Chain A
Amino acid sequence: MTNLSILIIVPILTAIAVLFCRNTMQIKWTSFIGSIVQLCMASGLMFSYISERALGNTAQMLFQQRYSWYSALNIEYFVGVDGISVAMIMLTSFVVVAGILISWSVQTLTKEFFFLLLLLSVGAYGFFISLDLFTMFFFLEVAVIPKFLLIAVWGSGKKEYSAMKLALMLMGGSVFVLIGLLTTYFNTNINGLHTWDLLQVAHAQIPLQTQMYIFPFLFVGFGVFTALFPFHTWVPDGHSSAPTAASMFLAGISMKLGGYGALRVATYLMPEAAQEYSWIIVLLATIAIIYGSFATLMQKDLKYMNAYSSISHCGFILLGIGMLTKIAIIGAVLQMVSHGVMTALFFGAIGMIYERTHTRQLSDLGGLLKVMPFIGTVYVITGLCSLGLPGLSGFVAEMTVFVGAWQRPDAFHRTATILAAASIVVTAVYILRAAGKAVMGPITNQHYLELKDANWNEKFASVLLIIGILAIGIAPFWLYNLIAPDAQIIMENLTRGGIVN
């Protein structure tokens, strides 16, 4: 029997161990080993999950653990995983290892930096395994606070402003989530008691009237995390000011917390309201996709470009959720995983370039492939993944969303799908524009000729993430089959009151 709690305990122990380290070498190696252990545990979890399923275990959530935490309010520490959570946990562990390796050269306040990174991973793991809504909220908050410090202390540019903006907007989102969760809690009644238990709430038959005002709070609250259209403005500033590893965590994991929450909490728990509101979600997601990609066209800074393109790509997650078909929901989850790995690699590559050239302005860069073949290649590969090249993960996710979305035959959903599909052309334009200018072309600055290519830790991190991208891109069926049964459960709950119109 796999013990899920060690997923939280190991990062905590690593973080504490980091506090007792004496020099930077010890700190880095402790965090690195800790993150490798996490990776092994996540892989182990996945394998035991798959074998458990193969043995015919049909429980919705496996490896459950349940302890009362604060009985007066019926708050429990209640964890368990399904295929979607396992996929997200795998994603998290990949990004954590890569993020820690990329941060190898952090000089100032090393101890605190790695401590905060590990704390973030605690929040992410906890969020993905929680089945108690309050515990889930608790871990969500754990994942927010360290980001403020990471950006404000180790960031670049107008870092205080960005850190404050990010923290305030994410906290605002959390407030919405909290309001939604509290309302949910007080509207449940299991044997005379209110409950935070996700599985029970899903079948609590909350009346539509109530759902109609809970759902917007939950969805918008989680939506802020995943760059829901009018609440996306923290993304560009936050990502561009953050240090490399924090950008990777932010885009790779944090934005996925929102997507996961929007699916698992908002849509799954409020199915009738989700159907009512789905057209708004589709509308906002389509706007985000188109608008994000066009805004990216105009950016001059590599990190801003990637941040805006993240808005566009996260739009696919919300689009998949909003379409309310099984395939589209699977597509949304695939897009979460795919975009998480891909964008982490993207920010990693940009970070490596920035560390060497000390500029992220497109106009200053040029011809880096010649001096840094490895980093240049990584940049091109992740760019190709971003524009949806078959064989890489982005393609699988986007196509799944499109195929799922196309099953809604009415004009509105068709138009949304076509517009979203059109954005991949714009994506190609901005990706190639950046790659053509920064990586290819003639060398613009003579001092670039002395730059060194990636060192072992950067290579390790990049190769790890590229393996992730290829594993999804070439053999998507294992991930697809991991997710599909749970998407089916969500769909069944969604259609319990009737078929999606």
Chain B
Amino acid sequence: MLSQNYIALIPLLPIISFLFIGLIGRAYFPKFCGLIGTLSLLISFSLSAILAYQFFFEIGKVNGVYQKIIALKYTWLQFTPNIAIDMGILLDPISVMMIVIVTFISLMVHIYSLGYMHGDHRISTYYTFLSLFTFSMLGLVLSSNIFQIYIFWELVGVSSFLLIGYYYDKPSAVAASKKAFIVTRFADLGFLLGILVLSYYSETLDFQTLIQRLTTNGTYLSGIATASFLGASALTWGLMLVFMGGAGKSAMLPFHIWLPDAMEGPTPVSALIHAATMVVAGVYLVARLFPVFVMCPIALDIVAYVGIISSLFAAIIACTQTDIKRVLAYSTMSQIGFMMFALGVSGYAGEEGTGFMASMFHLFTHAIFKALLFLGAGSVIHYVHSNDMKDMGGLRKMMPITHITFLLACLAIAGIPPFAGFFSKEEILTACFHANKFIFGAAVLTAGLTAFYMFRLYFNIFWNKDFKSHHTHEEHHHGEAPKSMLFPLMILAGLSVIAGFVPFNKFVTADGAGFETEFHLGFAIGPVLLAIAAILLAWKMYAKENSMSDNVSNSIKGLYTSAYRKFYFDEIYLFITQKILFNLIGRPAAWVDKNIFDGLMNLIASITETVSGSIKTYQSGKAQDYAIYFFAGTLGFVLLFIYLWI
């Protein structure tokens, strides 16, 4: 049996370092906070590596099937005997894979940040937030309870908010952090309602029980499948709402608008949160509930179509952006789209589950090469002090190591064999080919676009024109980034080359049992040739300074402009929030409150005042008036008595 204590340490070490740095380190030894954070994460990573080894090779497998193991469970809030929020650790192939990725990428980013954030006076705060994020992300992937995943879901959201807004005196960073939080929050509303729907029918919040109840025939499944609302069953609604939360976090259409803006945060943060780990939480969520999704083809189709549309959409936009981090952000969105539709076209058992396996595989490889791309971009930005590719060019001479690692990552994402991306993308395309020809076609197109925009980026940064520095002569020389930044780059580059050889079909599958995949050379050659063609095109357009790219963009001006303006999504959202929510609901509500309801209260008060004001004049202070009233009153009473009794 697994020793529980060390598993709990994996998420606990980051939270301990969060508390330690945040409460003590920040005040007394800010210089060492980075080291403390990195050290705690190093331990955490080593533990998760040991855990992964134990799980995959020693204890995880029973009769050839990987088990779901509850390593730890504490009841946090017991609502009814059935419904309880637990804090637990659930180990299965995907969660073990995820903790390895999260701790590893986080470790790389911690090391990288030692160099990147060097000299920043709030570096201790930065590491505090990083630790908080790592803790929340680990909690998220290890969740054994659907409400637990929601709790950590929100916590990663807020860590992302804090890190995007790290440069809080920059209005654009503040705006971006607000946007990220609010958009994902809106999507999380769907997630919450989805949880409520699913838990209402399955009468549990525990993942395993929930999955078991909703996938085996019985009262629970028939209850949720027959209850219908607006023409769809409660199961469909529940899953769609849960997927809404996943789409928000994973920047799928139409909730993607926060991701490009989130690049306002420090670049290592973008690498960790907005490329490798947090944004794949949506994919992870769908994967976690995958057995339930399989029960509902409509929901799975929605996942597939949202995935492919987002993927294509983002790839088109990525071809036009000039901010290198934004290109990478759209590329992230596009690649997550790949993972989503791979899940969407997947079946459950055996070979039908290729899509699921491919999705997880792509998640794994993407985390590595996308983190590398961001960190490489970070070291470029560190040197150039600009995000815009127009300010770059010819950097291959100044920063050779960054150049080589970046190139490897680009080859990996473009799907050139034998780099990591090739294998995972190939599996995804295979799965699509068997499931849905339309999605397959769009996916191949997107893969070609991916190769094009990545090499557009690469050539624009490292080739094109010669680099003209804005700096003084001395600064110009130091060129390459410090060792703490290069070290993670080299490690990640090495992994980008070899990660594709991990036999995922043996380890991470939907039903836990491994299956054989066959490699068809004939099938693989098409997409690879397309990618190479796209790279050559990019080389022709961007390797040397020429006017070809301008000519192309001019010839498709309408499309180019709308893609450059991100298909006006920001404007639409701005219209909805500013014009409709603020002006049509908020302003009238405030007005009604001030005038109608408060007015009503004031009206009651003023009526009282008017009445008393009009009778108070009888109290004139003139003695003779009082005497008149007195005599008149007496007279009146006398007459009354006479009338009554005489």
Which A residues lie at the B interface, using CB under 8 A?
Answer: 165, 168-169, 230, 232-234, 236-237, 291, 294-295, 297-299, 308, 327, 367, 369-370, 384, 387-391, 395-396, 399-400, 402-404, 406-407, 409, 417-418, 421-422, 424-425, 428-429, 432-433, 436, 439-443, 476-477, 480
Q: Given A295-B589, A425-B185, are A391 and B155 also a contact pair (CB < 8 Å)?
A: yes
B576 to chain A, nearest CB (A): 12
Q: How far is the CA of A190 from the CA of B424 in the complex (A)?
A: 79
Residues of B with C-beta under 8 A to A295: 586, 589-590, 593
Inter-chain contact A443/B181, CB cutoff 8 Å: no
A371 to chain B, nearest CB (A): 11
Residue-wise, chain B 589-606 has the 8 Å CB interface mask toward A (1 for contact) of 110010001101100010
Residue-wise, chain B 165-179 has the 8 Å CB interface mask toward A (1 for contact) of 100111100110110
B136 to chain A, nearest CB (A): 9
- Chain A residue nearest to B591 (CB atoms) is A298
Inter-chain contact A441/B171, CB cutoff 8 Å: yes
Inter-chain contact B154/A298, CB cutoff 8 Å: no
Identify which of residues 566-592 in chain B touch chain A, using a CB-to-CB cut-off of 8 Å. 577, 581-582, 585-587, 589-590
Q: Given A389-B155, A403-B196, A406-B196, are A232 and B586 also a contact pair (CB < 8 Å)?
A: no
Inter-chain contact A233/B593, CB cutoff 8 Å: yes
Inter-chain contact B80/A168, CB cutoff 8 Å: no
Residues of A with C-beta under 8 A to B196: 402-403, 406, 417
Q: How far is the CA of A367 from the CA of B171 in the complex (A)?
A: 10
Inter-chain contact A421/B80, CB cutoff 8 Å: no
Inter-chain contact A299/B79, CB cutoff 8 Å: no
Give 5 new A-B contacts, CB below 8 A, not counting A424-B185, A440-B165, A441-B174: A169-B601, A234-B601, A236-B593, A308-B593, A421-B193
- Chain B residue nearest to A436 (CB atoms) is B174
Inter-chain contact A395/B77, CB cutoff 8 Å: no
A contact patch SS: helix
B183 to chain A, nearest CB (A): 10
Q: Given A230-B597, A440-B169, A476-B77, are A390 and B155 also a contact pair (CB < 8 Å)?
A: yes
- Choice from A298, A406, A425 contacting B586 with Cβ under 8 Å: A298
Residues of A with C-beta under 8 A to B83: 403
Residues of A with C-beta under 8 A to B169: 367, 370, 440-443
Q: How far is the CA of A480 from the CA of B178 in the complex (A)?
A: 32
Scoring B189, B598, B601 by chain A CB atoms within 10 A of each residue's CB, the highest score goes to B601
- Chain A residue nearest to B189 (CB atoms) is A425
Inter-chain contact B601/A233, CB cutoff 8 Å: yes
Q: Given A233-B598, A418-B193, are A440 and B168 also a contact pair (CB < 8 Å)?
A: yes
Residues of A with C-beta under 8 A to B158: 384, 389
Inter-chain contact B152/A390, CB cutoff 8 Å: yes
Residue-wise, chain B 75-92 has the 8 Å CB interface mask toward A (1 for contact) of 111111001000000000
Residues of B with C-beta under 8 A to A294: 581, 585-586, 589-590
- Chain B residue nearest to A387 (CB atoms) is B185
Which B residues lie at the A interface, using CB under 8 A?
Answer: 75-80, 83, 147, 150-152, 154-155, 158, 165, 168-171, 174-175, 177-178, 181-182, 185-186, 189, 192-193, 196, 199-200, 577, 581-582, 585-587, 589-590, 593, 597-598, 600-601, 605
Inter-chain contact A425/B601, CB cutoff 8 Å: no
Inter-chain contact B76/A409, CB cutoff 8 Å: no
Inter-chain contact A369/B168, CB cutoff 8 Å: yes
Inter-chain contact B589/A421, CB cutoff 8 Å: no
Inter-chain contact A297/B189, CB cutoff 8 Å: no
Inter-chain contact A440/B598, CB cutoff 8 Å: no
Inter-chain contact A299/B192, CB cutoff 8 Å: no
Inter-chain contact A297/B79, CB cutoff 8 Å: no
Residues of A with C-beta under 8 A to B597: 230, 232-233
Q: How far is the CA of A443 from the CA of B168 in the complex (A)?
A: 11
Q: Given A298-B582, A395-B151, A440-B169, are A428 and B182 also a contact pair (CB < 8 Å)?
A: yes
- Chain A residue nearest to B175 (CB atoms) is A436
B633 to chain A, nearest CB (A): 32
Residues of B with C-beta under 8 A to A442: 169-171
B277 to chain A, nearest CB (A): 18
16 residue pairs of the A-B complex, CB under 8 angstroms, read A165-B601, A230-B597, A232-B597, A233-B593, A236-B593, A294-B590, A295-B586, A298-B582, A298-B589, A387-B185, A388-B154, A422-B189, A429-B182, A436-B174, A439-B168, A476-B77
Q: How far is the CA of A45 from the CA of B359 in the complex (A)?
A: 56
Q: Given A298-B582, A424-B189, are A406 and B174 also a contact pair (CB < 8 Å)?
A: no
Inter-chain contact A440/B186, CB cutoff 8 Å: no
Q: How far is the CA of A424 from the CA of B200 in the complex (A)?
A: 21
Inter-chain contact A389/B154, CB cutoff 8 Å: yes
Q: How far is the CA of A291 from the CA of B165 in the complex (A)?
A: 29
Q: How far is the CA of A7 from the CA of B220 in the complex (A)?
A: 51
- Choice from A406, A424, A429, A477 contacting B77 with Cβ under 8 Å: A477
B257 to chain A, nearest CB (A): 15
Inter-chain contact B189/A421, CB cutoff 8 Å: yes
Residues of A with C-beta under 8 A to B77: 396, 400, 476-477, 480
Inter-chain contact A406/B181, CB cutoff 8 Å: no
Inter-chain contact B75/A477, CB cutoff 8 Å: yes
- Chain B residue nearest to A407 (CB atoms) is B200
Residues of A with C-beta under 8 A to B147: 399
Q: How far is the CA of A236 from the CA of B147 in the complex (A)?
A: 35
Q: How far is the CA of A233 from the CA of B182 in the complex (A)?
A: 29
A-B interface, 3 closest residue pairs, ranked by CB to CB distance from nearest: A298-B590, A390-B151, A297-B586
Q: How far is the CA of A477 from the CA of B74 in the complex (A)?
A: 11
- Chain A residue nearest to B180 (CB atoms) is A432
Residues of A with C-beta under 8 A to B601: 165, 169, 233-234
Residues of A with C-beta under 8 A to B151: 390-391, 395
Residues of B with C-beta under 8 A to A390: 150-152, 154-155
Q: How far is the CA of A81 from the CA of B174 in the complex (A)?
A: 47
Q: How far is the CA of A432 from the CA of B150 in the complex (A)?
A: 20
- Chain A residue nearest to B227 (CB atoms) is A409
Residues of B with C-beta under 8 A to A429: 182, 577
Residues of B with C-beta under 8 A to A418: 193
Q: How far is the CA of A409 from the CA of B313 in the complex (A)?
A: 39
Inter-chain contact B76/A476, CB cutoff 8 Å: yes
Residues of B with C-beta under 8 A to A422: 189
A135 to chain B, nearest CB (A): 30
Residues of B with C-beta under 8 A to A370: 168-169
Q: How far is the CA of A443 from the CA of B192 in the complex (A)?
A: 37
- Chain B residue nearest to A426 (CB atoms) is B581
Q: How far is the CA of A477 from the CA of B601 in the complex (A)?
A: 42
Scoring A291, A295, A387, A404 by chain B CB atoms within 10 A of each residue's CB, the highest score goes to A295
B223 to chain A, nearest CB (A): 11
Q: Given A327-B80, A389-B155, are A432 and B585 also a contact pair (CB < 8 Å)?
A: no
Residues of A with C-beta under 8 A to B605: 165, 168
- Choice from A237, A291, A425 contacting B186 with Cβ under 8 Å: A425
Inter-chain contact B182/A230, CB cutoff 8 Å: no
Q: Given A233-B597, A233-B598, are A477 and B200 also a contact pair (CB < 8 Å)?
A: no
Q: How far is the CA of A399 from the CA of B199 in the complex (A)?
A: 13
Inter-chain contact B178/A436, CB cutoff 8 Å: yes
Residues of B with C-beta under 8 A to A299: 590
Residues of A with C-beta under 8 A to B193: 418, 421
- Chain A residue nearest to B178 (CB atoms) is A432
Q: How far is the CA of A230 from the CA of B586 in the complex (A)?
A: 17
- Chain B residue nearest to A423 (CB atoms) is B189
Scoring A399, A402, A443 by chain B CB atoms within 10 A of each residue's CB, the highest score goes to A399
B139 to chain A, nearest CB (A): 10
Residues of B with C-beta under 8 A to A388: 154
- Chain A residue nearest to B173 (CB atoms) is A440
- Chain B residue nearest to A229 (CB atoms) is B597
Scoring B165, B577, B593, B598 by chain A CB atoms within 10 A of each residue's CB, the highest score goes to B593
Scoring B147, B174, B186, B597 by chain A CB atoms within 10 A of each residue's CB, the highest score goes to B174
Q: How far is the CA of A428 from the CA of B598 in the complex (A)?
A: 26
Scoring A169, A294, A299, A480 by chain B CB atoms within 10 A of each residue's CB, the highest score goes to A294
Residues of A with C-beta under 8 A to B182: 425, 428-429, 432
Q: How far is the CA of A237 from the CA of B594 in the complex (A)?
A: 10
- Chain A residue nearest to B75 (CB atoms) is A477
